[in-house]
Chain A
Amino acid sequence: MTEPKILTMEKLDTGVGILTFDAPNTPMNTISDQATLELAEWIDQAEKDKDLKAVALLGKSTNFIAGADISEIQKITKIEEAVQLSARLQGLLNRLEALDKPVIAAIHGPALGGGLELAMACHYRIVSSADATVLGLPEVKLGLLPGAGGTQRLMRLIPLQDAMEAVLTGKNIRPREALKLGLADELALPYRIRETAIERATQIARGEFVIKRKSPPMPPAKMLPALYEQAKARIAKEARGIFPAPMEILESMYKGLTDGMKAGLDEESKRFGTVVMSKEASSLIHVFFSERGSKKDMGPAAGVKPKPVAKIGVLGAGIMGHGIAAVKADAGYLVRMKDRDLGAVSAGLKAASDVLRKTWIKRPRGEFEYRRRMDLISASPDYSGFEKADVCIEAVYEDIDLKHRVIKEVEEVLPDHAIFASNTSAIPITRLAEASKRKEQFLGMHYFSPVHKMPLIEIIVTKDTSKEALATACMLCAKTKKTPIIVNDGAGFFTSRVISRYIQEAMFMLDEGARIEDIDASAVKVGFPVGPVTVSDEVGLDTAAKVGHVLLEVFQNRFSPSPLLDKLAEAGRMGRKNGLGFYEYGDGKKKGPDASSYALTAQGAERVSLTPDEISNRLLLAFCLESALCLEEDILRNPRDGDIGGIMGIGFPPNLGGPFHYMQTRGIAAVADDLAKLEERFGGRFQVPQILKDMAGSGKVFFP
């Protein structure tokens, strides 16, 4: 018995071949090894086939080809292997392109990565006008580059600037834009895509249709070096030296521009090899799969049906409350917001409106899209409207007494079935639930600021939280396109606990005499989006100090936290919000470090120099150590959630793949050794977690 094939061809009497790419037993077509083998075979035959005049290439009914098979790329162990893979694919597509029978790609649904590279090697592209149809080369998002001619062919089809942007950002191109740019030759109605392709092929076979295409305008050759330098500077700034792929892409494209297609393709293969084997790509691919995993993983609520939710009550219209309201209304939920008085309510509505307006106003029909969402939000200084709320999300000031009060008040009004979620950032949910009469419907949903931009939600369950409540919270995350990580309760949960430990390390360094700018710069250099001192100012030094107090219970057995945050808060330094923190502020903008804050450190005004490596090593290890403890103490259910939470919630360098991926890459035994060395120097706060000791001993890893 033969395996069902991916590529099948039906030949019509007219000399038209209908070639269908339909990988069996999977919903998505990918450029797998098997697919390339079959394509090579098909080209062999097509080259010899004298009756064949033109070919219509079709994908599945829902997608053309979604890209390369990433898991096959992950299996590559040597640079040469990757270079060969790229060269082989390039050779295959070159042969396709050189075929004397025009091949028409009929694209409906996603044509991404390798899928688009294949389509670009065809001779004519018909694209369906469906919303589901997207074209793009997203490889850069995984730290890769399009290795099957993508860096070369796109810029020969569409204007150079657009091509550079598409390859360097990995953005999606919609059907109408594809037509405008010249990536698509023709647009077809979704239900006529097959027919149109066959029709065109038939016309070609009969000699009634000749493919004509204008080359995109190319900048004059003498301008190229300047454009190259310009792009290089931009990439250096945006990729911050932590993502190598964009520069590799630029080099490949530039080589092709200056030395021609053949040289460009060789350059592309060479550089494909480099990026495939890079740590960054392995990290980003890890993050890609981890995010997918976390999105699907409902933890203990797996298989449990969520409760239907139509209306959501939001307590507090402040920075978190209004953001939560906006995000929920954006997803189509009816929202009722409450705050203490008309002024607070008014400010909350205005802020929610600003978020939604900014999101939508520049898109097609923006004013309508904005209004239909904004109109779903109403607000009041009383609890009216909460009797019909299916979910209530609390985002009032971080004060346990206040939170207990509003929990009691709102439970008087909420219907029996309503789920209550607290958006506390650190107070243990179990302790908040003490004020609740319905602990099984009580959980934490920790949002990050700004809510509409941050992709993570940390869902905190207590031992009383019902599976149904958790399933409902997961559904809300999915509906609002957020990625959840489900964690168990404890002071600071995962994210606030770890970031607090990380900030503490920065405070200890300041106490030792390190400079503010050195600490932040060293952190940014290894890939943190912002340094820990800046983060403290942004969060608010009083807030950071407050979170620190909540976390005393998890820290104090190991070490006494630095008193620096408390001292600054007491001195009235709140960070950015009152323009007085570790940095100076003027006109709402951050200026340089404020040296006057040094007086409050243990060291006083005098400063010493710490090396960037010393600083970043201690910051990374503090982050990793606390993450490991969260896993050991069962706050985290698995290391994957720790990596997703670390990157998406609290800024762990994505190029390092998350704290657990990073420890595994660095070697768990090595991490344990390095921690032990730091423990010798600084004592308990670098005490090696038992879990790392055990793993170092047994050789176990986080991600087998």
Chain B
Amino acid sequence: MLPKRVAIIDGYRTPFCRAGTEFMEMDAVDLAKVATAELVNRSEIDVKEIDEVAMGVSIGHPSITNLARMVALGIGLRKDVHAYHMQIACATSLLTAAHVAMSIALGSADVGIAGGAESMSFVPILANEPVRRAILAAQAQKDPQQQLMTIGQVPLMQFIPQPTPIQEPYTGYSMGEHTELMVQEWSVSREAQDDFAYRSHKMAGEAVADGRIPAEIVPVFARPDFKPVTADNLIRPNPDRAKMATLPPVFDKEVGTITAANSSPLTDGASAVLLMSEEKAKALGYKPKAFIKGFGFSGVDLDLGMLFGPVYSTPKALKNTGLKLSDIDLVEMHEAFAGQILCNLKAFTAKDWLKKNLGLDEPIGEVNMDRFNLMGGSISLGHPFAATGGRMLISCANQLPRVDGTFGLVTACAANGTGGAVILERAQ
């Protein structure tokens, strides 16, 4: 429970686009600037009121030294705004929101913006080790001729690009491989995964058609030509279920079940949320959409499952807020993989397993699928890692009144075996 009520006033995201498409020439900073500038303009908040900005990017370019500060200065916020960078991969913008909420709850800020951005189009490229060393040596030399000579000593073969390393540093497995391990242990079938991915696209398609998704998106005038981009480009409103079944597995080519169709794709996008103390909102005449009731962040036991972030963080968030899962009217869970979702949902009810491994006396509980990811999720919408948390917070806050619910749970797993859960309370 937070010592002061923290209101979500407003939130927006850019369209989420497949890496290498519409936002090819925009980096994470560009995208975060658009999401934040539009949030500021659409919420009509006076820039002078903003005390704090927290943002992050999951796979940042080395030039992004502090995303929040770069955004804040770029779009003309107060020069003395406290702006800081933080990241825990896919749960980054849950973390930034929680941190701004803490600042507000503890009285060190009244108004803050939290968000995140990712550009998989602008992902930094690492050179192979011999190339890297040669370049480093060349940097110390002054004469360009000599520099070329130094680099020229590296065998040409070494310049053939290696795939970006995606192994978890602690285990050596990729996230996909970890999910394969989880679905095999928890007996989650390929069919169930494809069904879930199908559902994700269907739900997203409906939310586009009835205007719920468009209402959360701000247009991006994409560089270099400022071409307007107004919609996500990954959703398939009429997914071909039969074709999904034919796709080959990606990570375990022999007996694997995880395919391109039941995984979240590489995506560009950004999100930003405006938070305020309840008193400040009242003073400025804002009607909050929801309040941040509390949150929990957690590491997971990697041997039990790298992507069990929701399983670990949700009980913490529930305990902090004095709620039970049965009190929750709406769940937004990040869809890294359909398999990861299904494993987490199974584990939520696995009484003995939870008792043994997490020390929980009671299971977390069964999630009502009629109140689960009602606008689709990362599989269908796309997953710009650090922007996804903000996207889910916005959707949850907007959906609570629609389902006439009081409490919403927003949760995500994240790389390095972490996760977070934030509980929202609908504003009356």
Whether A associates with B in a native complex is: yes
Given contacts A345-B221, A346-B221, A350-B225, contact A336 B47 (CB under 8 A): no
**Are B41 and A385 in touch, CB under 8 angstroms?**
yes
A376 touches B228 (CB 8 A): no
Q: A343-B228, A349-B221, A349-B226 are in contact. Are A334 and B44 (CB under 8 A)?
A: no
Contact between chains at A388 and B46 (CB < 8 Å)? yes
Which among A346, A375, A378 is the interface contact of B227 at CB below 8 angstroms? Answer: A346
Binary A-proximity of B104-120 (CB < 8 A = 1, otherwise 0): 00000000000000000
- Chain B residues contacting A454 (CB-CB under 8 Å) are none
Name the B residues within 8 Å of A347 (CB-CB): 226
Q: Are B42 and A334 in contact (CB under 8 A)?
A: no
A410 to chain B, nearest CB (A): 14
Chain B residues contacting A388 (CB-CB under 8 Å) are: 44-47
In the assembled complex, the Cα of A347 lies from the Cα of B228 at a distance in Å of 10
Partner of B75, one of A310, A343, A376, A379: A376
Contact A371/B227 with A380-B41, A384-B44 known, Cβ cut-off 8 Å: no
| Contact of B228 (CB < 8 Å), options: A310, A345, A353, A385 | A345
Q: Indicate whether B256 reaches chain A with its CB closer than 8 angstroms.
A: no
CB neighbours (8 Å) of B34 from chain A are 378
Query: Cβ of B76 < 8 Å from any Cβ of A?
Result: yes
Q: A11 near B: Cβ within 8 Å?
A: no
Query: In this complex, what residue of B is CB-closest to A388?
Result: B46
A372 within 8 A of B: yes
CB-CB < 8 A to B225: which residues of A?
Answer: 346, 350
**In the assembled complex, how far is the CB of residue B38 from the closest CB belonging to chain A, in whole angstroms?**
7
Report the Cα distance A385→B42, complex, angstroms: 6
Contact between A375 and B228 (Cβ–Cβ < 8 Å)? no
Task: Decide: A372 near B228, CB < 8 A? Known: A378-B37, A384-B42.
Answer: no
Total A residues in contact with B, Cβ cutoff 8 Å = 23
Name the residue on B nearest A413 (C-beta): B44
Q: Specify which chain A residues have a CB less than 8 angstroms from the CB of B130 in the assembled complex.
A: none
Write out the residue numbers on chain A whose beta carbons fall within 8 Å of the beta carbon of B46. 388
Residues from chain A with a CB closer than 8 A to the CB of B219 are: 342, 380
Measured between beta carbons, the chain B residues less than 8 angstroms from A346 are 221, 225-228
CB within 8 Å of A: which B297-319 residues = none
Q: How many angstroms between the C-alpha atoms of A376 and B71 in the bound complex?
A: 11
| Distance of A100 from chain B, by nearest CB (Å) | 45
- Once A311-B47, A388-B46 are accepted as A-B contacts, the answer to whether A378 and B228 lie under 8 Å apart by CB is no
Once A and B bind, how many residue pairs between them come within 8 Å at the CB atom? 56
The interface bits of chain A over 388-403 (1 if a CB of B lies within 8 angstroms of the residue's CB, else 0) are: 1000000000000000
Question: Known interface pairs A342-B219, A345-B228. Does A375 touch B75 (Cβ–Cβ under 8 Å)?
Answer: yes
CA distance A385 to B12 in the complex (A): 14
B33 within 8 A of A: yes
Q: Is A411 an interface residue (CB 8 A)?
A: no
- Between B38, B41, B225, the greatest number of chain A beta carbons within 10 A of the residue's beta carbon is seen for B41
Task: Compute how far the CA of A379 lies from the CA of B33 in the bound complex, rounded to whole angstroms.
Answer: 13
Known contacts A334-B47, A385-B41, A387-B44; is A378 also within 8 Å of B226 by CB? no
* A388 to B284 alpha-carbon distance, docked (Å): 12
Query: Which residues of chain A come closer than 8 Å to B40, judged between CB atoms?
Result: 385
Partner of A384, one of B41, B47, B76: B41
**Are B221 and A375 neighbours in the complex by a CB distance under 8 Å?**
no
Categorize the interface residue count of chain B: 20 to 34
Bound-state Cα–Cα, A379 to B47, Å: 16
List chain B residues, Cβ under 8 A from A311: 47
Determine whether B74 belongs to the interface, using a CB cutoff of 8 Å to chain A.
yes
- Measured in the bound complex, the distance between the Cα atoms of B341 and A345 in whole Å is 41
Residue of A334, A336, A372, A378 ringed by the most chain B CB atoms within 10 A: A378
CB distance from B113 to the nearest CB of A (A): 15
Contact partners of B230 in chain A: CB under 8 A: 342
Report the nearest A residue to B30, measured CB to CB: A375
Contacts of A342 in B (CB 8 A): 219, 228, 230
- Any A CB within 8 A of the CB of B48: yes
With both chains docked as a complex, state the minimum distance between the C-beta of B72 and any C-beta of chain A, in angstroms.
11
Residue of A nearest to B70 (CB): A375
CB contacts under 8 Å to B, within A6-56, are: none
Q: A19 → chain B, closest Cβ, in Å? A: 44
Contact string, A328-348, partner B, CB cutoff 8 A, digits 1/0? 000000101000001101110
In contact, B74 and A372 (Cβ under 8 angstroms): yes
Known A-B contacts A342-B219, A387-B44; A378 and B74 likewise in contact (beta carbons under 8 Å): no
Is A379 touching B221 in the complex (CB atoms < 8 A)? yes
Q: A380-B41, A384-B42, A388-B45 are in contact. Are A353 and B226 (CB under 8 A)?
A: yes
Chain A: which residue is nearest B37 at the CB level?
Answer: A378
- A310 pairs with B48, CB closer than 8 A: yes
**Binary contact track A648-675/B, C-beta < 8 Å → 1, others 0:** 0000000000000000000000000000
Bound-complex Cα distance A245 to B74 (A): 46
CA gap between A378 and B220 in the complex, in Å: 10
Cβ of A349: which chain B residues have Cβ within 8 Å of it?
Answer: 221, 226
Q: Tell me which residues across on chain B come within 8 A of A350, comparing CB atoms.
A: 225-226
B47 and A310: CB pair below 8 A? Answer: yes
Is the beta-carbon distance between B45 and A378 smaller than 8 angstroms? Answer: no
Question: Hey, which chain A residues are within 8 Å of B45, CB to CB?
Answer: 388
* Residues of chain B contacted by A384 (CB below 8 angstroms): 38, 41-42, 44
Question: In the docked arrangement, what's the CA distance between A117 and B94, Å?
Answer: 66
Looking at the assembled complex, report how far the CB atom of A680 sits from the nearest CB atom of chain B, in whole angstroms: 58
Q: In the complex, what distance in Å separates the CA atom of A353 from the CA atom of B33?
A: 16
- Cα A316 to Cα B72 in complex, Å, equals 26
Those of A363-380 within 8 Å (CB) of chain B: 371-372, 375-376, 378-380
Residues of A close to B226: CB separation below 8 A: 346-347, 349-350, 353
Give Cα distance in the complex from A378 to B41, angstroms. 9
Q: In the complex, what residues of B have CB within 8 A of residue A345's CB?
A: 221, 228
Closest B-chain residue to A378, C-beta based?
B37
A372 CB to nearest B CB, Å: 7
B41 contacts across to A, CB distance below 8 A = 336, 378, 380, 384-385
Find out whether the CB atom of A375 lies under 8 angstroms from the CB atom of B44: no
User: Chain B contacts of A371 at CB under 8 A?
Assistant: 74
B331 to chain A, nearest CB (A): 31
Closest to B78 in A: A310
**Which residues of A have CB within 8 Å of B75?**
334, 375-376, 378
Q: What string of 1s and 0s marks CB contacts (under 8 Å) between B63-105 and chain A? A: 0000000000111100000000000000000000000000000
| Binary CB contact string for chain B from 18 to 48 against chain A (1 if under 8 A, 0 otherwise) | 0000000000000001100110111011111
- List 29 A-B pairs, Cβ < 8 Å: A310-B48, A334-B75, A342-B219, A342-B228, A345-B221, A346-B225, A346-B227, A347-B226, A349-B221, A350-B225, A371-B74, A372-B73, A372-B74, A375-B74, A375-B75, A376-B76, A378-B41, A378-B75, A379-B221, A380-B219, A384-B38, A384-B42, A384-B44, A385-B40, A385-B41, A385-B42, A388-B44, A388-B45, A388-B46
Q: Which residues of A contact B (CB under 8 A)?
A: 310-311, 334, 336, 342-343, 345-347, 349-350, 353, 371-372, 375-376, 378-380, 384-385, 387-388
| Further pairs besides A343-B228, A371-B74, A385-B42: 19, Cβ < 8 Å | A310-B47, A310-B48, A334-B76, A345-B221, A345-B228, A346-B226, A346-B227, A346-B228, A347-B226, A372-B73, A372-B74, A375-B37, A375-B74, A378-B38, A378-B41, A379-B221, A384-B38, A384-B42, A385-B41
The 10 closest A-B pairs by CB, nearest first: A385-B41, A387-B44, A342-B228, A375-B74, A349-B226, A334-B76, A350-B226, A378-B37, A384-B42, A346-B226
